[in-house]
Amino acid sequence: MSGNTMRWTPQDWPIACAMIPFAPVQDAGPAAWARDLGQVAAAGFDAVDPTDSWLRLADLDDAGRARFVAICRDLGLTVPAISTSRRSVIDPVQGDDHLAYCHRVIDCAADLGAGHVSFGLFGPLSDAQRAALWFWTEPGVTNPDDPATRALAVARIRDLGRHAADRGIQVALEMYEDTYLGTASDAVAFVTDVDLPSVRLNIDIGNLIRLHRPVQPWAEMIALCAPFAGYWHVKNYYRMTDPSGVILSHPAPMMGGTINWRAAINIALDLGFSSPFLVEHYGGDGLGVCAENRDYIRRILAQRRTLP
């Protein structure tokens, strides 16, 4: 599958809220899930991605999953997708476990009627990253410059993609620094090597624009990656370069940061993009900024003459 089977309008295009503004609730129980999801609904969202840094939905038992579904239904929230975070299938210690987990995520998404999952090859935060104000200012885990490991990554993602196709699910691979999806050209090469219609790119270029190092201009990344776009995490950053060469970044609302999201989204739509969006934001009132970003995307969609 490559997108929605019926045309969405600007008003009902799925725009999910990420749960990264909330603390993990895996062991907190349904009352905590309902508290956080209630805030999402109160912010005007009708869709949520139960990001697994908040809740590993695929690891709940049948009763827990049914309770989660009931809470979402009562709040008027749909689940168009499930995103994973730091569950790399080539992690040197937990790669096999993460692969099995990602298969469970695919089955969970299919059982819930979610059409999309997002996987990445980025590893756990380092001690320095956890101690930093913004984790991306410190170096993290790097995928090895090793053809055999990259080939393993391709093979395992292809395995997931075949399973996803069998269950009617679309996989999106998240772009992230220092992974095999860490630049636009690397991401395109990787998804091309996987070579399955059920596997596309999550062109989360905000992950790259925020880096305190030279990066490719956002417009060039979009031009390369938009033809491969699937489920899409969107966020923005202010990016500043001092005359001395020092590069700094800070989270920004989508409309105000370095990336021109109106242009980026329109380029993707012109190429037939027809997957849900996920709005994210770090710092401050993350939920409030996500709600503003949702409304901004809807204005962009409404101002187009036609949609895919």
Number of domains present in the structure of the chain: 1
Domain extent at residue 275: 15-302
* pLDDT tens-digit map of 218-266: 999 999 999 999 999 999 999 999 889 899 999 999 999 999 999 999 9
Domain membership of residue 64 (yes or no) is yes
Domain membership of residue 9 (yes or no) is no
What are the strands of the beta sheet with 116-119, ordered from one edge? 81-83, 116-119, 170-174, 199-202
Note the pLDDT of residue 3: 40
Average of per-residue pLDDT values in the chain: 96
Cβ atoms of residues 11 and 299 within 8 Å: no
* Alpha-carbon span 61 to 67, nearest angstrom: 10
The CATH number of the domain where 79 resides is what?
A: 3.20.20.150
Domain membership of residue 80 (yes or no) is yes
Domain membership of residue 248 (yes or no) is yes
Domain membership of residue 307 (yes or no) is no
Domain membership of residue 83 (yes or no) is yes
Q: Which residues contact 93 (CB under 8 A, 6 or more apart)?
A: none
Q: How far is CA 133 from CA 67, 138, 251, 253, in A?
A: 35, 10, 12, 18
Domain membership of residue 4 (yes or no) is no
Digits of tens for pLDDT over the chain (308 positions)? 334 445 799 999 999 999 999 999 999 999 999 999 999 999 999 999 999 999 999 999 999 999 999 999 999 999 999 999 999 999 999 999 999 999 999 999 999 999 999 999 999 999 999 999 999 999 999 999 999 999 999 999 999 999 999 999 999 999 999 999 999 999 999 999 999 999 999 999 999 999 999 999 999 999 999 999 999 999 999 999 988 989 999 999 999 999 999 999 999 999 999 999 999 999 999 999 999 999 999 999 999 877 77
Q: Taking the model in full, what pTM does it have?
A: 0.95
Domain membership of residue 5 (yes or no) is no
